[in-house]
Structure 1
Amino acid sequence: MRKGAQVPQPTTEVVRLMIHDDSASGVYLFGFASLQDGENLWDEWYETVADAESMVQQKYSVAPSDWYPLPDVVEHCQQNWIAPVRIKGQAEGNPQWGSREKLVDGRWVDFRPE
């Protein structure tokens, strides 16, 4: 399960948040400096979604109703991107760190985030 929220009145560089509940390894909270899909500024780990939401509500004034659903992570893709983005070669067990690809119209294409 993944969901996102926009920070209603940002007081830091964080304007968008994402929670990813990975049942195998816990709950990840990501903070972003842009409303557009892209690299996160930071991430934190929590035991439960409720713990992450509580911190976000206190620190960023994000209400429970501010969260919106995001698509599940595509296999071998990065959990912090909304769109399917992965490290080239990772699906084959030969990751090419620093090189990425994005799923566009059913095909994996080279991707260089701005």
Structure 2
Amino acid sequence: MRKIVNLTNPKDEIVRLMIYNDDDFGVYLFGYKKIVDCSSEFDELYDSENEVMESCETEYGIKKTEWKEIPNPEPNCQHDWINPVRIKGSESGNPEFGKFEKRINGKWIEFKLKK
């Protein structure tokens, strides 16, 4: 499960954080400048979830009890998005980097990232 929290007191324009446990690499912390579902502004890699949570408590004042669990991303989907978003063609092994799709009403629809 991933974990997410909205910051009560934003810091350096960061208003939301997400933790993702990757079985192969470690634990990622994603930071966002928007509350709406979007691509993260940054990611940091840690050895453990506990290490991430301790860092977030020090850096952002987030208590461990404030984090909410959300489902892990679906196969071939971006880890830092809440809803299913993937690189176009990733499911067939032919990724078109810079092009993204999101699932809307069961269909994959191409869209442009907004900055």
Shorter-normalised TM range: over 0.9
Equivalent in the alignment of 1:17 = 17
Give the C-alpha shift of residue 48 in structure 1.
Answer: 0.3
1:58 aligns with 2:64: no
1:14-55 Cα deviation digits (max 9, x unpaired): 110000011122100000001111121110000100000000
Task: Identify unmatched segments of 5+ residues in structure 1.
Answer: none
- Normalising by structure 2, we get a TM-score of 0.94
**Post-superposition, which runs of at least 4 consecutive aligned residues in structure 1 deviate over 3 A?**
none
CA apart distance, 1:11 = 3.0
Count matched residues: 114
Partner of 2:95: 95
Deviation at 1:113, TM superposition (A): 2.6
Contact 1:8–1:61 (CA under 8 A) maintained in structure 2: no
Q: Secondary structure of 1:21's match?
A: strand
| 101-110 or 47-56, which deviates more | 101-110
Distance, in Å, in 2 between the alignment partners of 1:109 and 1:30 is 24
CA deviations over 1:80-113 (Å, ceiling 9, x no partner): 0001000000111111111111111111111223
Give the Cα–Cα distance (whole angstroms) in 2 for the partners of residues 22 and 91 of structure 1.
19
Superposition pairs of residues 1-114 of structure 1, within 5 angstroms: 1-114=1-114
After superposition, the C-alpha distances for 1:62-97 in whole angstroms (9 at most, x for unaligned) are 111110111211100000000100000011111111
Task: Give me the CA root mean square deviation.
Answer: 0.9
Letter aligned with residue 21 of structure 2? D
Matched residue type, 2:47: E
TM-score calculated relative to the size of structure 1 = 0.95
